Amino acid sequence: MKRLFFACVAALLCGMASFAQEPAVPEGPGLEFVVELHVTCDPAFTVGDTAHGRRIVIPITGGTFEGPKMKGVVLAGGADYQLQDQEHGRTELEAIYCIRTDDGVSIHVRNWGLSVMGRDESGRTQFYFRTAPKFEAPRDSPYGWLNDAIFVCAPGPNAPGDTVCLRVWKVL
């Protein structure tokens, strides 16, 4: 009986040791699609080489957006303020603009992120582009929920001309 007990304990300990050596990777947060934007822009202009890198400004001239819970237009007057590190192929993006929903609610958007061009180990070009938009919507509007979540953004397929497609998800 003692041998059976010790054999069970040994088997249990061996199983625990192998479990401890191979920890399960925790599941990441989910995503919920929010909106796709088609943003039109004027040609970029260069401020110049600053203490932080080359500053480039891309004026936003308008556009449209649509998602399951919202639809409307991108208002003219915003811009994407880019800070380029050409040596490392890295650009900080900070787009600041407003959108207006079809029911007349104005929402401020500040979209910060990174664009990085590089090469993988085999020499193939790699492109990384992700941003984290922050929305400021009137709290008492149907869009007040935008104030209380984290969002991520990735580029979608670009339309012709000076239109940029962006897709936004809520992190669950």
- Pick 14 or 59 by higher pLDDT: 59
Q: Is the dihedral of CA 105, 108, 153, 59 positive or negative?
A: positive
Per-residue pLDDT tens over the stretch 62-108: 999 999 999 999 999 999 999 999 888 899 999 999 999 999 999 99
Domains and CATH numbers, the chain: 29-171 (2.40.160.20)
Burial class (CB in 10 A: 0-12, 13-18, 19+), 59: middle
